[in-house]
Amino acid sequence: MTEPTEQQQRQWDEQGYLVLEEAIRGDELGRLQQAFDHCAAACKDDWLNGIAKGDSTPTYFDIPNPLERDEIFIDLVDHESWFGILQRFTGGETLFLGPQVRSVPPWPLSYTGWHPDVGPTNPLHIKVQIYIEDVAPGTGEFGFVPGSHKIGSGPYERPQFQESMPGHITFPGKAGTAIMFNSYGWHTAMDNGGSVRKSIILIYEKRTPEKVKPEAFTAIEQYCTSRERRALFGLEV
Protein backbone atom coordinates (compact mmCIF):
# COMPACT_ATOMS: atom_id res chain seq x y z
CA MET A 1 0.00 0.00 0.00
CA THR A 2 1.09 3.55 -0.72
CA GLU A 3 2.01 5.51 2.39
CA PRO A 4 2.32 9.30 2.60
CA THR A 5 5.69 10.87 1.93
CA GLU A 6 7.10 13.32 4.46
CA GLN A 7 6.02 16.16 2.18
CA GLN A 8 2.49 14.77 1.91
CA GLN A 9 2.27 14.39 5.68
CA ARG A 10 3.33 18.03 6.17
CA GLN A 11 0.85 19.25 3.59
CA TRP A 12 -1.93 17.21 5.17
CA ASP A 13 -1.17 18.58 8.61
CA GLU A 14 -0.80 22.20 7.49
CA GLN A 15 -3.16 22.49 4.51
CA GLY A 16 -5.69 19.68 5.07
CA TYR A 17 -5.67 18.14 1.60
CA LEU A 18 -3.67 16.07 -0.90
CA VAL A 19 -3.94 15.82 -4.69
CA LEU A 20 -3.13 12.36 -6.06
CA GLU A 21 -2.70 12.68 -9.80
CA GLU A 22 -3.24 9.57 -11.95
CA ALA A 23 -4.54 7.71 -8.91
CA ILE A 24 -6.69 5.75 -11.37
CA ARG A 25 -5.31 5.26 -14.89
CA GLY A 26 -5.14 3.04 -17.92
CA ASP A 27 -7.51 0.12 -18.30
CA GLU A 28 -8.79 0.53 -14.75
CA LEU A 29 -9.86 4.10 -15.48
CA GLY A 30 -11.57 2.99 -18.69
CA ARG A 31 -13.53 0.31 -16.90
CA LEU A 32 -14.50 2.74 -14.13
CA GLN A 33 -15.77 5.23 -16.71
CA GLN A 34 -17.81 2.50 -18.41
CA ALA A 35 -19.31 1.32 -15.11
CA PHE A 36 -20.16 4.88 -14.09
CA ASP A 37 -21.89 5.66 -17.39
CA HIS A 38 -23.73 2.32 -17.50
CA CYS A 39 -25.09 2.67 -13.97
CA ALA A 40 -26.01 6.32 -14.44
CA ALA A 41 -27.90 5.52 -17.65
CA ALA A 42 -29.77 2.67 -15.94
CA CYS A 43 -30.99 5.05 -13.21
CA LYS A 44 -31.58 8.20 -15.27
CA ASP A 45 -35.30 7.70 -15.85
CA ASP A 46 -35.94 7.25 -12.13
CA TRP A 47 -34.06 10.48 -11.45
CA LEU A 48 -36.03 12.41 -14.08
CA ASN A 49 -39.31 11.02 -12.78
CA GLY A 50 -38.28 12.09 -9.29
CA ILE A 51 -37.61 15.61 -10.53
CA ALA A 52 -41.03 15.73 -12.18
CA LYS A 53 -42.67 14.64 -8.92
CA GLY A 54 -40.64 17.05 -6.82
CA ASP A 55 -38.85 14.23 -4.99
CA SER A 56 -35.39 14.73 -6.57
CA THR A 57 -33.18 17.74 -7.14
CA PRO A 58 -32.21 18.62 -10.72
CA THR A 59 -28.87 20.07 -9.63
CA TYR A 60 -27.10 16.72 -9.07
CA PHE A 61 -27.73 12.99 -9.30
CA ASP A 62 -26.29 10.19 -7.15
CA ILE A 63 -26.45 6.61 -8.42
CA PRO A 64 -28.34 4.68 -5.71
CA ASN A 65 -26.62 1.68 -4.10
CA PRO A 66 -23.57 1.83 -6.38
CA LEU A 67 -21.58 -0.79 -4.48
CA GLU A 68 -24.27 -3.34 -5.29
CA ARG A 69 -24.24 -2.48 -9.00
CA ASP A 70 -20.59 -3.06 -9.90
CA GLU A 71 -17.67 -4.55 -7.99
CA ILE A 72 -15.32 -1.86 -9.30
CA PHE A 73 -16.93 0.64 -6.93
CA ILE A 74 -16.17 -1.67 -4.00
CA ASP A 75 -12.56 -1.98 -5.05
CA LEU A 76 -12.16 1.79 -4.99
CA VAL A 77 -12.83 1.90 -1.26
CA ASP A 78 -9.49 0.30 -0.35
CA HIS A 79 -7.64 1.27 -3.51
CA GLU A 80 -3.86 1.10 -3.30
CA SER A 81 -3.45 4.72 -4.41
CA TRP A 82 -4.90 6.13 -1.20
CA PHE A 83 -5.82 3.43 1.32
CA GLY A 84 -2.36 3.25 2.87
CA ILE A 85 -2.40 7.02 3.28
CA LEU A 86 -5.81 6.85 4.94
CA GLN A 87 -4.57 4.16 7.29
CA ARG A 88 -1.62 6.30 8.33
CA PHE A 89 -3.83 9.32 9.00
CA THR A 90 -6.38 7.30 11.01
CA GLY A 91 -3.81 5.23 12.89
CA GLY A 92 -4.97 2.07 11.12
CA GLU A 93 -8.59 2.62 12.18
CA THR A 94 -10.21 3.62 8.88
CA LEU A 95 -13.98 3.07 8.68
CA PHE A 96 -15.87 3.50 5.41
CA LEU A 97 -19.17 5.35 5.78
CA GLY A 98 -20.43 5.40 2.20
CA PRO A 99 -20.04 6.60 -1.41
CA GLN A 100 -21.54 9.34 -3.54
CA VAL A 101 -21.33 8.41 -7.23
CA ARG A 102 -22.38 11.78 -8.53
CA SER A 103 -23.20 13.59 -11.75
CA VAL A 104 -23.49 17.39 -11.63
CA PRO A 105 -25.09 18.95 -14.74
CA PRO A 106 -24.45 22.57 -15.73
CA TRP A 107 -26.47 24.95 -13.56
CA PRO A 108 -26.31 28.71 -12.94
CA LEU A 109 -25.31 28.17 -9.30
CA SER A 110 -23.59 25.32 -7.49
CA TYR A 111 -25.80 22.78 -5.76
CA THR A 112 -23.99 23.49 -2.49
CA GLY A 113 -22.35 26.41 -0.73
CA TRP A 114 -19.11 26.58 1.23
CA HIS A 115 -19.24 24.40 4.35
CA PRO A 116 -17.40 21.95 6.61
CA ASP A 117 -19.00 18.50 6.85
CA VAL A 118 -18.40 18.03 10.57
CA GLY A 119 -17.03 19.94 13.52
CA PRO A 120 -13.67 19.28 15.20
CA THR A 121 -15.30 17.34 18.04
CA ASN A 122 -16.27 14.67 15.50
CA PRO A 123 -13.73 11.88 14.89
CA LEU A 124 -11.35 12.55 11.99
CA HIS A 125 -13.52 12.66 8.86
CA ILE A 126 -11.90 12.28 5.42
CA LYS A 127 -13.25 12.32 1.89
CA VAL A 128 -11.62 11.19 -1.33
CA GLN A 129 -13.08 12.70 -4.50
CA ILE A 130 -12.18 10.98 -7.78
CA TYR A 131 -12.69 12.68 -11.13
CA ILE A 132 -14.16 10.24 -13.66
CA GLU A 133 -13.67 12.60 -16.62
CA ASP A 134 -11.47 15.67 -17.03
CA VAL A 135 -12.79 18.57 -14.94
CA ALA A 136 -11.94 21.96 -16.43
CA PRO A 137 -12.08 25.28 -14.58
CA GLY A 138 -15.66 26.49 -14.27
CA THR A 139 -17.23 23.03 -14.56
CA GLY A 140 -17.99 22.23 -10.93
CA GLU A 141 -14.45 21.54 -9.79
CA PHE A 142 -13.68 21.02 -6.10
CA GLY A 143 -12.85 24.07 -3.99
CA PHE A 144 -11.14 24.12 -0.59
CA VAL A 145 -9.79 26.66 1.90
CA PRO A 146 -6.31 25.42 2.90
CA GLY A 147 -5.77 25.41 6.64
CA SER A 148 -9.47 25.76 7.45
CA HIS A 149 -9.45 22.30 9.02
CA LYS A 150 -7.38 23.50 11.96
CA ILE A 151 -8.97 24.15 15.32
CA GLY A 152 -9.02 27.89 15.86
CA SER A 153 -8.89 28.82 12.18
CA GLY A 154 -11.44 31.25 10.80
CA PRO A 155 -14.07 32.31 11.58
CA TYR A 156 -15.48 31.58 8.14
CA GLU A 157 -18.75 32.75 6.70
CA ARG A 158 -20.54 31.43 3.64
CA PRO A 159 -20.18 34.08 0.90
CA GLN A 160 -22.90 34.99 -1.56
CA PHE A 161 -20.76 33.85 -4.50
CA GLN A 162 -18.55 30.76 -4.60
CA GLU A 163 -15.53 32.65 -5.97
CA SER A 164 -15.75 35.22 -3.14
CA MET A 165 -14.57 32.82 -0.42
CA PRO A 166 -11.35 34.29 1.05
CA GLY A 167 -8.24 32.15 0.70
CA HIS A 168 -9.80 29.37 -1.36
CA ILE A 169 -8.18 27.38 -4.15
CA THR A 170 -9.84 25.28 -6.83
CA PHE A 171 -8.91 21.90 -8.25
CA PRO A 172 -9.53 21.34 -11.95
CA GLY A 173 -7.95 18.04 -12.93
CA LYS A 174 -7.59 15.14 -15.31
CA ALA A 175 -9.70 12.01 -15.22
CA GLY A 176 -8.35 9.67 -12.56
CA THR A 177 -7.22 12.45 -10.22
CA ALA A 178 -8.12 11.87 -6.56
CA ILE A 179 -8.38 14.68 -4.01
CA MET A 180 -8.21 13.69 -0.35
CA PHE A 181 -9.33 16.28 2.17
CA ASN A 182 -10.04 16.72 5.85
CA SER A 183 -13.78 17.34 6.11
CA TYR A 184 -13.33 19.72 9.04
CA GLY A 185 -12.16 22.12 6.33
CA TRP A 186 -14.39 24.48 4.35
CA HIS A 187 -15.05 23.16 0.86
CA THR A 188 -17.56 23.21 -2.00
CA ALA A 189 -18.25 22.37 -5.61
CA MET A 190 -17.67 25.46 -7.72
CA ASP A 191 -20.32 26.71 -10.14
CA ASN A 192 -20.70 24.55 -13.25
CA GLY A 193 -21.15 26.54 -16.43
CA GLY A 194 -19.76 23.87 -18.72
CA SER A 195 -20.35 20.14 -18.97
CA VAL A 196 -21.58 17.36 -16.67
CA ARG A 197 -19.09 16.83 -13.86
CA LYS A 198 -18.71 13.15 -13.02
CA SER A 199 -17.02 12.18 -9.78
CA ILE A 200 -17.05 9.66 -6.97
CA ILE A 201 -16.80 10.80 -3.37
CA LEU A 202 -15.73 8.19 -0.82
CA ILE A 203 -16.46 9.05 2.82
CA TYR A 204 -14.31 7.74 5.67
CA GLU A 205 -13.90 8.32 9.37
CA LYS A 206 -11.61 7.23 12.17
CA ARG A 207 -13.39 4.24 13.68
CA THR A 208 -15.49 4.71 16.79
CA PRO A 209 -17.92 2.06 18.11
CA GLU A 210 -21.03 4.18 17.56
CA LYS A 211 -20.30 4.60 13.84
CA VAL A 212 -19.88 0.87 13.13
CA LYS A 213 -23.06 -0.35 11.44
CA PRO A 214 -22.62 -3.91 10.11
CA GLU A 215 -26.06 -3.89 8.50
CA ALA A 216 -25.07 -1.05 6.13
CA PHE A 217 -22.95 -3.27 3.89
CA THR A 218 -24.36 -6.77 4.29
CA ALA A 219 -25.41 -6.71 0.61
CA ILE A 220 -21.73 -6.77 -0.43
CA GLU A 221 -20.45 -9.02 2.34
CA GLN A 222 -19.43 -11.70 -0.19
CA TYR A 223 -16.74 -9.30 -1.47
CA CYS A 224 -15.37 -8.67 2.02
CA THR A 225 -13.47 -11.83 2.89
CA SER A 226 -10.28 -10.42 4.40
CA ARG A 227 -10.22 -9.24 8.01
CA GLU A 228 -8.96 -5.82 6.93
CA ARG A 229 -11.77 -5.28 4.43
CA ARG A 230 -14.41 -6.50 6.87
CA ALA A 231 -13.12 -4.01 9.43
CA LEU A 232 -13.09 -1.23 6.83
CA PHE A 233 -16.77 -1.80 5.99
CA GLY A 234 -17.75 -2.22 9.63
CA LEU A 235 -18.77 -5.85 9.17
CA GLU A 236 -16.82 -6.74 12.30
CA VAL A 237 -17.48 -4.76 15.45
pLDDT of residue 194: 93
pTM of the model: 0.96
Mapped onto helix, strand or coil, the DSSP state of residue 115 is strand
Is the bond into 214 cis (omega within 30 degrees of 0)? no
In terms of DSSP bridges, do strands 125-131 and 142-144 run parallel, antiparallel, or are they unpaired?
unpaired
Look at residue 2 and tell me whether its pLDDT is greater than 90: no
pLDDT of residue 12: 98
In terms of DSSP bridges, do strands 142-144 and 169-171 run parallel, antiparallel, or are they unpaired?
antiparallel
Sheet holding 178-182, edge to edge: 17-20, 178-182, 125-131, 197-206, 94-104, 61-62
Mapped onto helix, strand or coil, the DSSP state of residue 87 is helix
The answer to the question of residue 159 being in a domain is no
User: Are 39 and 101 within 8 A, CB to CB?
Assistant: yes
pLDDT of residue 1: 73
Mean pLDDT across 124-145: 98
Q: What is the pLDDT of residues 106-121, one digit of tens each?
A: 998 999 999 999 998 9
pLDDT band at 213 (very low <50, low <70, confident <90, very high): very high
The answer to the question of residue 237 being in a domain is no
Look at residue 97 and tell me whether its pLDDT is greater than 90: yes
CB atoms within 10 A of CB 38: 13
Q: What is the pLDDT of residues 150-170, one digit of tens each?
A: 999 988 999 999 999 999 999
The answer to the question of residue 78 being in a domain is yes
Better pLDDT: 56 or 87: 87
Look at residue 201 and tell me whether its pLDDT is greater than 90: yes
Domain housing 201: 6-153+171-232
In terms of DSSP bridges, do strands 142-144 and 197-206 run parallel, antiparallel, or are they unpaired?
unpaired
The beta strand positions in 157-227, using DSSP E, are 169-171, 178-182, 187-189, 197-206
Domain of 123: which CATH number?
Answer: 2.60.120.620
Taking the CA atoms of residue 205, residue 17, residue 173 and residue 155 in that order, the dihedral angle to the nearest 10 degrees is 100
The answer to the question of residue 42 being in a domain is yes
The beta strand positions in the chain, using DSSP E, are 17-20, 61-62, 94-104, 125-131, 142-144, 169-171, 178-182, 187-189, 197-206
The answer to the question of residue 165 being in a domain is no
pLDDT of residue 60: 92
What CA–CA distance (Å, rounded) separates 65 from 77? 14
Q: What is the pLDDT of residues 30-59, one digit of tens each?
A: 999 999 999 999 999 998 899 899 988 989
* Domain count of the fold of the chain: 1
pLDDT of residue 183: 97
The answer to the question of residue 158 being in a domain is no
The answer to the question of residue 166 being in a domain is no
Look at residue 75 and tell me whether its pLDDT is greater than 80: yes
The answer to the question of residue 1 being in a domain is no
